[in-house]
Amino acid sequence: MDLQAAAERLGLEKEEYLEIVELFIETCSSEIEELEKALAAGDKATVERLTHSLKGSSGNIGIMNFSEIARKMEVNVTGGLLEGMEKMVAELKTILNDLKKEV
């Protein structure tokens, strides 16, 4: 991900943007853990809340590949489908790990 370009799109200096991304990583890490527990428990309401939150927060800071996966997850759970979500969670974790390397 081009962090400089993402910062510019949001009208921020790169250092300001990096602080936001670091906070995003910290918050998302705990939300993803909570999401995994909710999926294991079949807790659709919590899954829906978390996927909506992840979609919005990532979209707001321009991490669109993450946001798109979270959006798909939200659509699935809204439709009552939890199958296959573990794979999407793994994709979110991969994106988050790649982002950690860049910050």
Would you write out the chain's pLDDT as a tens digit for each of its 103 residues?
788 888 898 899 999 999 999 999 999 999 999 999 999 999 999 999 999 999 999 999 999 999 999 999 999 999 988 888 999 999 999 999 999 998 8
Range of the domain at 74: 3-102
CATH of the domain at 89: 1.20.120.160
Separation between Cα atoms, residue 16 and residue 20, nearest integer Å: 7
pLDDT number for residue 71: 97
pLDDT number for residue 86: 93
Give the angle 12-18-19 at the CA atoms, nearest 5°.
95
Residues whose CB falls within 8 Å of the CB of residue 4, separated by 6 or more in sequence, listed in order: 14
Question: pTM above the 0.85 mark?
Answer: yes
pLDDT number for residue 28: 94
Q: How many domains does the chain have?
A: 1
Residue 85's identity, in one-letter code, is M
Separation between Cα atoms, residue 24 and residue 3, nearest integer Å: 14
